[in-house]
Amino acid sequence: MRDARRKNSFIGMTPRSMAVMAAVFIALVIVAAYFFYRRPTPVIRPLVNTLTFAGFEGTIGEPFGVAVKGLETYVSDGENGVIWKIAADGTTMQFASGLDTPSGIAFAGDDLIVADPGTHSIKKVLPDGKVVSLAGTDGSSGWLDGSANAAKFDAPIGI
């Protein structure tokens, strides 16, 4: 005797069980799409540990480069031709002077390397604040590969 229910010849399921399987599949796709495409709620965190180191007096004229060593922050000031040292407590002091529009700065060991576009050279500031030429020809711009004192740069701004 034949079964009263008609079976699908492809997978051997009744039309009712196929409809249930299709409904489950569609529900899973909807749930997956919800979790995949939903927009996350933005987390707004208040600022913590904010420090204004230039102050209202305008101590730093044109801050350009920033380098951090330990708890101290160093800022190049292109307008005044100096490097400022900001201590952890926020006090500001002049660290190096005699530069011409210092820009990018970075530490190499204990020495601070400074791109000095006004002199078309790269300078090194020793831990005591003394500035010495590292590469380039002071006051002479150009594009010339060579030894450190013969190379020429055209207003380098990055380190």
**Structure confidence by residue, pLDDT tens digits, 19-28:** 888 888 899 8
Q: Which residue has the higher pLDDT, 49 or 2?
A: 49
What percent of the chain has a predicted confidence (pLDDT) above 70? 81
| Lowest-pLDDT choice from 2-11, 99-108, 122-131, 145-154 | 2-11
Region 118-146: mean pLDDT is 92
3-state helix, strand, coil in the chain (%, to 5): 15, 30, 55
Residue 59 and residue 94: Cα distance in Å, rounded?
A: 10
pLDDT at 1 over 50: no
Q: How far apart are the first and last CA of the chain?
A: 89
Residue 71 and residue 77: Cα distance in Å, rounded?
A: 20
Instruction: State pTM to two decimals.
Output: 0.64
In three state form, how does the secondary structure of 115-142 look?
Answer: EECCCCEEEEECCCCCEEEEEECCCCCC
Residue 87 and residue 79: Cα distance in Å, rounded?
A: 21
Beta bridge partners of 107: 112
**Structure confidence by residue, pLDDT tens digits, 49-81:** 655 655 446 677 888 899 999 999 999 999 999
